[in-house]
Chains A and B, each alone.
Chain A
């Protein structure tokens, strides 16, 4: 009998082993790999092309890696490329974009988070009407408002100025951001808000001491949405600013679409990558928080 018990225990142990190359795995990872390649190829072509010299590009093998690696196109794109008449590259426009994006992002998020907080927790008279109007704003096509805003900015003396564009971005970010914050704050337990009120915290006390520390994920989402949205904006940039204050996207367009001389594909590619670098970095740095915030804020309506 003792022998029997020892032999029955002597079989394979642990969880059922899974084969690495099961049909399920091959299918799953195969699909993922295909999709990844599909999205990565354009980036690969851009990087490879930006590192080649023009003669090598003319050979036409766009997928082949550079024979002679050169960083000249990057230097040119940053400091020497011509947009129309002046040939200063992207550098000054990069700083324009920074000066537009940073205040727009900060301003719009501050205002929208307080909006969302008031709408979610304080339910003042007319809150629903206010909210409906705000959401309605999200559905009006931008083009409808382009010209009226030109007139308004001109009357304010801000047309063609960076601060005018900052105001425009702040206003246009308001509907979606307010919705985002409102939904997040309504998803937090209401008792917390009530407990804080009984504890004697006022409107700002509750906002800064109770809600803000719990809202990192949704603030991350808002920052990403706004940074990418405003950095990538072209339409408002081209309409509301003059040549001196053009954001980077407009300058990039001007570089790529210059009609004089030869098309410098390597410089164009480098310029495009430089322009896309900011939103790309933001995504990489905050990926996990972004997913968490989206999941927390987007569900309830």
Chain B
């Protein structure tokens, strides 16, 4: 049992608190992704688990051990950094074996483990090169190899793909997913890219300003977000939020969609209050020549296209559509959707109304 458990974890720099009382359980063998906008504290939280940042209050457990006050080396974790952090004066082989050498393992054992890791990551041809002579993707593979060789209980990834170009990022993403299957160790992965979070994670932790907004499986977060922030962060393109007003008979009127009324959930606030109706771009259909919403720009991506709509007096709405264009740019159109797809959020608290 080598899960990771955080209890009331707090991080302060002087008087500024950056991590607020985090409680989190990560199960053994789980792939957990911390995601959030920059400055939300996700990297700090990861470094607290690694032991590179001191935990101000609360406890961190790895498996059954309380590691809150232990050195990074004693925690049984390995870390992969965004900037690879390979030792520039060592060959790939020495880089990967460094951790074991520092801990006094016998040479034969180190050689065997390096060979095993380089086989998994297909690095055999590069073992004697210096990091300088490798491409970005190869460097990050070496960094991952260095983590594997140490045989840690928990792998920590700090935005490992952010320095790679788009194509390589997709390759490495798949490779990390494969690695997780093959090794089966607990992995914690920090990213600001919700696509990486969705594709890799067993469990996503959405953070904002040092607090957990929601924890759950990718599809849970996508289908059932707790609040407007999570709903807007998960999913690409992000969810449209359309302002509406609660009416007398339990519906929500949407002035920017020509006054359409949607049946609201049981917990709607009092009549006259504002709510947001959340609709994903995939759940909206364009009705040509039926409304007063201007179709501003269309982005054709081949299989799908994104239409950017400007309703009168409202905010931009994105619609994802497949197949041929139903209306030309610059014309006025209407929108339709299945009311079952709509989500409701309180305009003040931004919490989901169910």
Are A189 and B85 touching (Cβ within 8 A)?
yes
| B11 beta carbon closer than 8 Å to chain A | no
Identity of the chain A residue whose Cβ is nearest the Cβ of B73 in the assembled complex: A200
Q: Which residues of B contact A191 (CB under 8 A)?
A: 81-85
| B45 beta carbon closer than 8 Å to chain A | no
| B215 beta carbon closer than 8 Å to chain A | no
Which residues of B from 11 to 70 have beta carbons under 8 Å from A? 47, 50-52
Are A205 and B79 touching (Cβ within 8 A)?
no
Q: What's the minimum C-beta distance from A118 to chain B, rounded to whole angstroms?
A: 17
Q: What's the minimum C-beta distance from B106 to chain A, rounded to whole angstroms?
A: 16
Identity of the chain A residue whose Cβ is nearest the Cβ of B90 in the assembled complex: A213
Q: Which residues of B contact A210 (CB under 8 A)?
A: 87
| B249 beta carbon closer than 8 Å to chain A | no
A197 and B89 in contact (CB under 8 A), knowing A191-B81, A205-B102, A209-B102?
A: no
Are A213 and B89 touching (Cβ within 8 A)?
yes
Are B52 and A199 touching (Cβ within 8 A)?
no
Identity of the chain A residue whose Cβ is nearest the Cβ of B87 in the assembled complex: A210
| A45 beta carbon closer than 8 Å to chain B | no
Q: Which residues of A contact B102 (CB under 8 A)?
A: 196, 199-201, 205, 209
Q: Which residues of A contact B89 (CB under 8 A)?
A: 213-214
Identity of the chain B residue whose Cβ is nearest the Cβ of A212 in the assembled complex: B89
A37 to B84, CA, bound (A): 50
| B352 beta carbon closer than 8 Å to chain A | no
Identity of the chain B residue whose Cβ is nearest the Cβ of A206 in the assembled complex: B102
A294 to B126, CA, bound (A): 33
Are A195 and B81 touching (Cβ within 8 A)?
yes
A-B contacts counted at CB < 8 A amount to: 62
A197 to B50, CA, bound (A): 10
Interface of B is mostly: loop
Are B146 and A199 touching (Cβ within 8 A)?
yes
Q: What's the minimum C-beta distance from B200 to chain A, rounded to whole angstroms?
A: 21
Interface of A is mostly: helix
| B150 beta carbon closer than 8 Å to chain A | yes
| A192 beta carbon closer than 8 Å to chain B | yes
Which residues of A from 24 to 73 have beta carbons under 8 Å from B? none
Q: Which residues of B contact A196 (CB under 8 A)?
A: 87, 98, 102
| A292 beta carbon closer than 8 Å to chain B | no
Identity of the chain B residue whose Cβ is nearest the Cβ of A193 in the assembled complex: B85
Range class of the A interface residue count: 10 to 19
| B88 beta carbon closer than 8 Å to chain A | yes
Are A198 and B78 touching (Cβ within 8 A)?
yes
Q: Which residues of B contact A201 (CB under 8 A)?
A: 73, 98, 102
Identity of the chain B residue whose Cβ is nearest the Cβ of A189 in the assembled complex: B83
| A263 beta carbon closer than 8 Å to chain B | no
| B349 beta carbon closer than 8 Å to chain A | no
Q: What's the minimum C-beta distance from A199 to chain B, rounded to whole angstroms?
A: 4
A196 to B78, CA, bound (A): 10
A199 to B52, CA, bound (A): 12
| B99 beta carbon closer than 8 Å to chain A | yes
Q: Which residues of B contact A192 (CB under 8 A)?
A: 85, 87
Which residues of A from 194 to 252 have beta carbons under 8 Å from B? 194-202, 205, 209-210, 213-214
A199 and B81 in contact (CB under 8 A), knowing A205-B102, A214-B88?
A: no
Q: Which residues of A contact B77 (CB under 8 A)?
A: 198
A58 to B206, CA, bound (A): 90
| B135 beta carbon closer than 8 Å to chain A | no
Binary interface encoding of chain B residues 85-110 relative to chain A, with 1 for a CB under 8 A from any of its CBs, else 0: 11111000000001100110000000
A sample of 27 cross-chain residue pairs with beta-carbon separation below 8 angstroms, ordered by A number, consists of: A189-B85, A191-B83, A191-B85, A192-B87, A194-B47, A194-B50, A194-B52, A195-B79, A195-B81, A195-B86, A196-B102, A197-B71, A197-B72, A197-B73, A198-B50, A198-B72, A198-B78, A198-B99, A199-B78, A199-B98, A199-B150, A200-B72, A200-B103, A201-B102, A205-B102, A209-B98, A210-B87
Chain B interface (Cβ within 8 Å of chain A)? 47, 50-52, 71-73, 77-79, 81-89, 98-99, 102-103, 146, 150
Given contacts A194-B47, A199-B98, A201-B73, 8 further A-B contacts (CB under 8 A): A192-B87, A194-B50, A195-B86, A198-B51, A198-B99, A199-B73, A199-B99, A200-B72
